[in-house]
Amino acid sequence: MAMTPEQMAQRIAAAGNAARREDQAALAKAGEDKARVMAELRAVAGSAWTRADQKNRQLWFGLGGAAIGILVWSILPGLVAREIVPASWQWPERIAARTLDLPKWEAGQRLMRATAPDAFANIAAADRIITANRKAVQACYTKAVKTKKTVRCTIEINRDDEAARSPIVSSTD
């Protein structure tokens, strides 16, 4: 089989066309693959940005929730203690004593001393005077009840007693 130069040229052209078609198909497939991979990369990058945004959003919502919780927790107990529960439960007094980390009696004394030192000194002096003269005061009270009248009582105050130096007693020092 002998080929003429024209036949040879046709066969070479046909082989070249076939090779070019295969190359074009491979290039087209590579272009499609490249486009698909780029789309996947964009999706992954977009997903990463979305995850970062979501974590950032979660952080801010968490911090906001904590701040709101702190605010509500600081306001709500006092509101409930003052306005909602019965006064006989003495919640405000318990909260004050717990805040000072003292029993209620000592907490009350500390609050009175801090608020009005002179008035607290007067109360303390009067308590010492009454305590020192308990029997005489009790006898006077019993007499007042029996007679149904106001009565005079005699009490004793020691000059060296702390109550004698109280603001309610005029000092001669």
* pLDDT by residue, tens only, the chain of 173 residues: 677 888 888 888 888 888 888 888 888 899 898 999 888 888 777 776 677 888 899 999 999 999 999 999 988 888 888 888 898 998 889 988 999 999 999 999 999 999 999 899 888 888 888 988 999 999 999 999 999 999 999 988 877 766 556 666 544 44
- Alpha carbons 19 and 11: distance in angstroms, whole number: 12
Contact call for residues 143 and 151 (beta carbons, < 8 A)? yes
- Alpha carbons 118 and 163: distance in angstroms, whole number: 13
Tell me the pTM.
0.48
